[in-house]
Amino acid sequence: MHELSIVEGVMNMVRESALQSNIKKVNKLKLVIGRLSMVLPDSMQFCFQALSQDEFFRDAVLEIEQREILIRCKKCEQQSVLEDIYCYICPGCGANEVEIIQGRELYLDYYEGEEN
C-alpha cells in the first residue's frame, strides 16, 4: 500500500529529527498533499493511527492539507483548477497545452513536539 510506506517514511524522518532536537513526544504533524500525488488523506490517517501506538506518537495529531491541481494555459495564460485529472484542457480557450503549477506536492510541512 502506497500510503503506508509514505506514512512510515514521514514518521521515521520526524522521529530522527525530533530525537536530535531533544523532543520526547510529538504533538502534531502537518503534511501537504497535492491531488496529483494520488495519495488518499483517509488512508494516510488510517495508516498513521495504526502506526502511532508508541509513546512517541501516541498523542500526535496528523493534519493534512490537500492542494488542488492548478494548471496554466500556455496559449491564453489563464490559471485554473483542474477538476478531472485525466483531462488536461484549458477551460478558458480549450487548448491542451497546459502546464501544472501546483498539485504534485507531497511533503511534511512541520511538526511540533515537547522537549525533554
List of residues contacting Zn ion (CB under 5 A): 73, 75-76, 78, 90, 92-93, 95
Query: Do 116 and 24 contact (CB within 8 A), yes or no?
Result: yes
Of 97 and 112, nearer to Zn ion (C-beta) is: 97
Of 41 and 91, nearer to Zn ion (C-beta) is: 91
Of 8 and 97, nearer to Zn ion (C-beta) is: 97
Min. distance of Cβ 97 from Zn ion in angstroms?
Answer: 8
**17 class by beta-carbon count within 10 Å (0-12 exposed, 13-18 middle, 19+ buried):** middle
Q: Alpha-carbon distance 28 to 72, whole Å? A: 34
Of 7 and 73, nearer to Zn ion (C-beta) is: 73
Query: Do 39 and 33 contact (CB within 8 A), yes or no?
Result: yes
Helix, strand, coil percentages (3-state) for the chain, rounded to 5, are: 30, 35, 35
Min. distance of Cβ 67 from Zn ion in angstroms?
Answer: 21
Min. distance of Cβ 38 from Zn ion in angstroms?
Answer: 25
Min. distance of Cβ 96 from Zn ion in angstroms?
Answer: 9
